[in-house]
């Protein structure tokens, strides 16, 4: 019998001073049986950083042709394609050809600099690609916020992201390895 996804309900209150974006979002996150809490929280962080009325989680891990998080225009064009982990250059090339902007949220601690050194030269040619590095300490700290029902307040200012619930506050300072040109 196949394992089923675990469903998480998330109430986000976002105050993004860097973008002038202030909004509440009610999300339902499906955690694939093979997905860790840390990876799920990196997905949530990517949503927070790019939050908009049209940003949505897709079927993701279950569909080969779609990103896990995207922003699609009504015309069907993909405005933003978001990937996670230490993605293959060929996959990022495909995403860069299909979307106006692509973001990769790399995480994995000490393996990220090794992956980046191996892939940086190839990835530099994609002008619509932005690569973030989320530190292992940040991922671990965000795991403390995980519960089946989350109510999170988020404040973003000068690149610092504070996530808080009733019991914990977590500071995340993502590192930009490559920005969109």
Q: Which two tokens stand for residue 167?
A: 């019991």
Q: How many residues does the chain have?
A: 181
The radius of gyration of the chain from alpha carbons, rounded to an integer in Å, stands at: 16
Low-confidence spans in the chain with pLDDT less than 50: none
Task: Tell me the whole-structure pTM to 2 decimals.
Answer: 0.94
Query: Contact 171/159 with Cβ under 8 angstroms?
Result: no
30-72 tens-digit pLDDT: 998 889 999 999 999 999 999 999 999 987 555 567 899 999 9
* Closest among 116, 131, 150, 174 to 37, alpha carbons compared: 150
Q: Among all chains, which residue has been given the structure tokens 């500071």?
A: 171
Q: Among all chains, which residue has been given the structure tokens 């989680």?
A: 57
Q: Which two tokens stand for residue 29?
A: 């996150």
Exposure class string for 3-18: b at 16+ Cβ within 10 A, else e: eeeeebebebebebee
């Amino acid at each position: 019998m196949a394992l089923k996804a675990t469903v998480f309900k998330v109430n986000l209150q976002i105050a993004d001073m860097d973008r002038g974006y202030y909004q509440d979002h009610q999300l339902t996150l499906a955690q694939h049986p093979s997905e860790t809490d840390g990876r799920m929280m990196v997905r949530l962080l990517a949503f927070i950083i790019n939050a908009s009325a049209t940003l949505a989680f897709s079927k993701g891990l279950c569909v080969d042709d779609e990103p896990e998080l995207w922003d699609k225009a009504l015309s069907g064009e993909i405005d933003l394609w978001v990937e996670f982990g230490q993605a293959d250059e060929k996959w990022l090339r495909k995403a860069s050809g299909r979307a106006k902007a692509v973001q990769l949220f790399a995480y994995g601690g000490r393996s990220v600099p090794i992956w980046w050194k191996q892939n940086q030269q190839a990835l530099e040619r994609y002008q619509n690609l932005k690569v973030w590095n989320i530190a292992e300490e940040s991922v671990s700290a965000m795991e403390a916020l995980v519960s089946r029902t989350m109510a999170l307040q988020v404040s973003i200012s000068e690149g610092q992201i504070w996530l808080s619930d009733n019991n914990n506050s977590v500071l995340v300072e993502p590192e930009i390895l490559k920005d969109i040109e």
